Amino acid sequence: MTARTIVLTGASDGIGAAAARQLAATDHRLILVGRSPEKTKAVADDTGAEYFFADFARLDDVRELAAKLTDAVGADGIHVLANNAGGIFGDRTPTVDGFEKTIQVNHLAPFLLTNLLMPTLLASKAAVINTSSVGHRLFGHIDVDDLDNSKKFSANKAYGDAKLANVLFTKSLHTKFHPDGLSSVAFHPGTVQTNFASDSSSLMRLVYRSFLGRLLLTSTEEGGAILRWFIEGTPDETWFSGAYYDERTLSSKTNPQVDDPALAEALWQRSAELVGV
């Protein structure tokens, strides 16, 4: 396999860290991004990867990260951007940027990062891998005029909307940039036994911590292997650009809003307005 430059966010824990460790033995150039300096450095030390820190609850961190990544890769470019950072949180919490934390960390921050890196992504005919969730179908219903869910908030609804935004973002990337060589895909990594939902008041936190939940959850290593499968796959051969997958399976079980191109475009325009691109 041809060596690639891979940028992997959410790499300090969970399936991001697992995928990084699985990719360590390859010839790829691996650049990890994490919020925790200690955890991110530990994974980088284990894998020999380069690394940067960024808190996606601060958009200035994302802007600084994009500039550092652009400088670091230079003319070599980025061949794979894996937008894997995210999570479900507790009560409605505003970030320093004034947005609800769930939609910012899961959608607005990776939207901003991808757009700021777009010149190098297009030059490399890159693949953008977006870690979504089956939650997009179970809980999501987007109102582009209320992305913060200020009218009626729940942790599950906020998370479902954010993961639905990941799928719509994937569709828009395909529509806008696939003719220029960019590919994009969104996927559900499985219900993985990680620290997911540990900071949440959602019922998912109880499921993830219960004995039955632990029996039903798949391992972090398997979730990381699924992420690695997309990262190392060949677009439109291994997986199809613009599509959504449940684990490695192309899925038609998506939220009905996924098939609304006008909504996808409206979300893109609103997101661009909010983050200033």
Catalytic site positions: 159
Cα-trace Rg, the chain = 17
Alpha-helical (H) ranges within the chain are 14-23, 37-47, 59-73, 101-103, 109-116, 118-123, 135-139, 155-177, 203-209, 211-216, 220-232, 261-275
CA 156 to chain centre: 17
Contacts of 260 (CB under 8 A, 6+ apart): none
Alpha-helical (H) ranges within 81-123 are 101-103, 109-116, 118-123
